[in-house]
């Protein structure tokens, strides 16, 4: 798993039998080959299929079976383990990522169907060691206990704050309605989400 | 992990239709996926092929003559953002208290989602029969049907939008190999007689492409009652469309949700000719639920259906008392 991209790349190079050619022409060939194959039979799988995902600003190539969820692709193929698998049934929100800027359950999105979409995970929020405002607010307001649901809540909060820079309590309840915290840290979560959007008011940040 | 399947994301409806099998279960249509993928993970459905409709051009809302035509792949978010969508529909969309589900879920997927019945979800089949008896009646059925439950089907229709669309007199466009047909939303559903049937009247190789909502000047509303404020399906809901002229009701239609195996259309015509008041709304709601046939554990749903209908009527008439 440490070099997950290697898998699809190796498979691919083997497939076209052109190990020495440069990456650009590999992609061009691949697109043509794929288009030709798809004209005959538009179905792919059930075995691994080469796909490209736009994740956190870069295009990642990997090979996944069509049944692989975006969450499994992130965690098991790309070593992006910030998004958590808990319910795996579009309910708890621990797997929340941004797809085209909106909060979405990665456990219930197929990786192959996420091609062409812009995916942002919790890993994209901090700038190196510098936490994003919403992450600082989570620390400040003690918005986590065991912490397992936290990445999902952070991403859901980020999605809310992008559409509503200073959400009131009702907006926060609605914006975080797709996430669950079994430790019950909702008081801190609400405070964090509200304060991150309105840093001037509280004075503590 | 789901069973393996082959996948296609066709670029046109014609191509999509060719990929669908003529027997239920061989192929499944992927819309928002919020229900289907969970059913697949639980092995309740195990398609050999998945056909994703994301790229066939079915997302979008546009007026067409006297109707508003909503593409089946239109998300709940898009419905909420569009000014011309009737209130009864936007209130139903807002009832899905998860931004994630609202960004992913589609109106077509909502109409064709499978029942939430826990016997069905645990693999006991839609009719949950064991040794010729109903597991639902013998077991925990607090969320099950209180209307239309005389046969084997005891689950409730889970759709958020169907009651509102039925109250508004909407239809769906259905495309198959032999062309397009129009179907009243009410007629999209049936109560299956055997476990091999599905709860829809369309075939496995047909696609619901659009929802056609007549543009009317009726006042309409949806009122849902949930056990919790958060993400959950309602215990009962009611959608109504009421036309009022000179303070008197001239037409009224209503449909209850989550109380029967199909969206439960009810007769509220006794409201016609008089002023809609808290008393008349409560009276017609009491009349409607007098026909209910609750099981031993779900009598509360009869009361909730009555309250939902009363409040939906008052909400439509602008007379809702906000507590």
Contact A103 B5 (CB under 8 A): no
Q: Which of B2, B50, B103 sits opposite A104 (nearest CB)?
A: B103
Write out the H or E segment, with its range, that includes residue A194: helix A186-197
pLDDT, residue A81, reads 98
| In the block, residue with structure tokens 């190796």 | A10
What is the average per-residue pLDDT within B100-114? 98
B246 CB neighbour count, 10 Å cutoff: 6
Q: Which of B1, B4, B104 sits opposite A45 (nearest CB)?
A: B4
pLDDT, residue A202, reads 45
- Is A106 an interface residue toward B (CB < 8 Å)? no
pLDDT tens digits for B116-126? 999 999 999 99
Mean pLDDT of chain B: 96
For residue A107, give how far its alpha carbon lies from the nearest alpha carbon of chain B (Å): 9
Closest CA to A69 of A50, A82, A86, A88: A88
Write out the H or E segment, with its range, that includes residue B309: helix B300-316
Polymer length in residues for chain A: 205
Tell me if B175 sits within 8 A of B207, measured CB to CB: yes
- Is B8 an interface residue toward A (CB < 8 Å)? yes
With both helix axes pointing from N to C terminus, report the angle between A150-163 and A186-197 in degrees, rounded to the nearest 10. 40
In chain B, what percentage of residues exceed pLDDT 70? 100
Contact A43 B19 (CB under 8 A): yes
Q: At residue A13, does pLDDT exceed 60?
A: no
| Region of poorest pLDDT, from A27-41, B192-206, B207-221 | A27-41
Q: Which CATH number fits domain B219-316: 3.30.390.50, 3.40.50.300, 3.90.550.40, 3.40.630.30?
A: 3.30.390.50
Query: In chain A, what are the domains?
Result: 4-89+97-123 (3.10.20.30), 133-202 (1.10.150.120)
DSSP state of B115: P
Q: What is the rounded CA–CA span in Å between residue B184 and residue B202? A: 12
Q: At residue B151, does pLDDT exceed 60?
A: yes
Tell me if B204 sits within 8 A of B215, measured CB to CB: no
Contact B10 A42 (CB under 8 A): yes
Polymer length in residues for chain B: 323
- Is A27 an interface residue toward B (CB < 8 Å)? no
pLDDT, residue A10, reads 38
What is the average per-residue pLDDT within B224-233? 87
Q: State yes or no: ipTM above 0.85.
A: yes
pLDDT tens digits for A21-34? 344 444 555 666 66
- Is B101 an interface residue toward A (CB < 8 Å)? yes
Domain map of chain B by residue range?
A: 57-214, 219-316
Tell me if A66 sits within 8 A of B5, measured CB to CB: yes
Tell me if B249 sits within 8 A of B276, measured CB to CB: yes
pLDDT, residue A201, reads 47
Which residue out of B43, B50, B100 would a mutagenesis test of the A interface target, given it has the greatest number of A Cβ atoms within 10 Å?
B100
CB neighbour list of residue A186: distance below 8 Å, 6 or more residues apart: none
Write out the H or E segment, with its range, that includes residue A24: helix A23-40
Contact B230 A93 (CB under 8 A): no
pLDDT, residue B43, reads 96
| In the block, residue with structure tokens 């669309």 | B165
Q: Which CATH number fits domain B57-214: 1.10.260.40, 3.40.50.300, 3.10.180.10, 3.30.465.10?
A: 3.30.465.10
A113 CB neighbour count, 10 Å cutoff: 21
pLDDT, residue B46, reads 96
Q: Which of A66, A90, A110 sits opposite B6 (nearest CB)?
A: A66
DSSP B17-51: HHHS-SSBTTEEEESS-TTHHHHHHTTSS--SEEE
């Amino acid at each position: 798993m440490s070099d997950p991209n290697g898998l699809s790349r190796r498979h691919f190079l083997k497939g076209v039998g052109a190990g020495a050619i440069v990456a650009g022409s590999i992609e061009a060939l691949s697109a043509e080959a794929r288009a030709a194959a798809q004209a005959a039979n538009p179905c792919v799988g059930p075995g691994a299929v080469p796909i490209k995902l736009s994740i956190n600003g870069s295009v990642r190539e990997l090979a996944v079976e069509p049944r692989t969820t975006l969450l499994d692709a992130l965690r098991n193929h790309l070593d992006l383990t910030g998004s958590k698998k808990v319910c795996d049934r579009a309910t708890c929100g621990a797997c929340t990522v941004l797809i085209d800027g909106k909060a979405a359950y990665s456990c219930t999105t197929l990786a192959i169907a996420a091609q062409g979409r812009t995916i942002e995970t919790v890993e994209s929020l901090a700038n190196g060691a510098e936490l994003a405002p919403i992450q600082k607010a989570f620390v400040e307001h003690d918005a986590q206990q065991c912490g397992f649901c936290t990445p999902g809540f952070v991403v859901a909060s980020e999605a809310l704050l992008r559409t509503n820079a200073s959400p009131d309590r009702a907006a926060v309840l609605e914006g975080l309605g797709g996430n669950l915290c079994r430790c019950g840290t909702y008081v801190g979560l609400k405070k964090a989400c509200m304060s991150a959007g309105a840093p001037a008011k509280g004075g503590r940040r | 992990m789901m069973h393996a399947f082959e996948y296609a994301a066709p670029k046109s409806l014609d191509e999509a239709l060719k990929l669908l099998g003529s027997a239920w279960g061989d192929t499944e249509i992927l819309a928002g996926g919020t229900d289907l993928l969970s059913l697949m993970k639980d092995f309740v459905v195990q398609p050999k092929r998945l056909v994703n409709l994301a790229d066939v051009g079915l997302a979008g809302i546009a007026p067409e003559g006297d109707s508003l035509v909503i593409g089946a792949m239109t998300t709940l978010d898009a419905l909420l953002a569009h000014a011309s969508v009737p209130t009864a529909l936007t209130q139903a969309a807002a009832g899905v208290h998860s931004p994630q589900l609202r960004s992913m879920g589609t109106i077509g997927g909502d109409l064709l989602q499978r029942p939430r019945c826990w016997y069905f979800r645990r693999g006991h089949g839609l009719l949950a029969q064991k040794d010729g008896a109903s597991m639902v009646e013998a077991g925990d059925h607090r969320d099950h049907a209180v209307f239309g439950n005389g046969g084997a089907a005891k689950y409730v229709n889970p759709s958020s939008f169907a009651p509102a669309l039925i109250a508004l007199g909407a239809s769906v466009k259905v495309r198959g190999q032999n062309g397009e047909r129009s179907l009243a939303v009410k007629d999209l559903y049936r109560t299956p007689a055997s476990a091999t049937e599905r709860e829809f009247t369309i075939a496995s190789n047909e696609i619901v492409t659009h929802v056609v909502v007549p543009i009317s000047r009726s006042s309409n509303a949806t009122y849902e009652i949930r056990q919790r404020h958060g993400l959950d399906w309602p215990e009962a809901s009611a959608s109504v469309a009421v036309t009022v002229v000179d303070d008197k009701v001239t037409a009224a239609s209503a449909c209850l949700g989550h109380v029967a195996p199909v969206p439960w259309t009810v007769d509220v015509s006794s409201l016609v000719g008089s002023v809609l008041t808290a008393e008349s709304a409560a009276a017609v709601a009491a009349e409607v639920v007098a026909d209910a046939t609750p099981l031993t554990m779900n009598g509360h749903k009869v009361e909730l259906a009555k309250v939902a209908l009363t409040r939906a009527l008052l909400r439509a008439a602008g007379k809702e008392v906000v507590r």
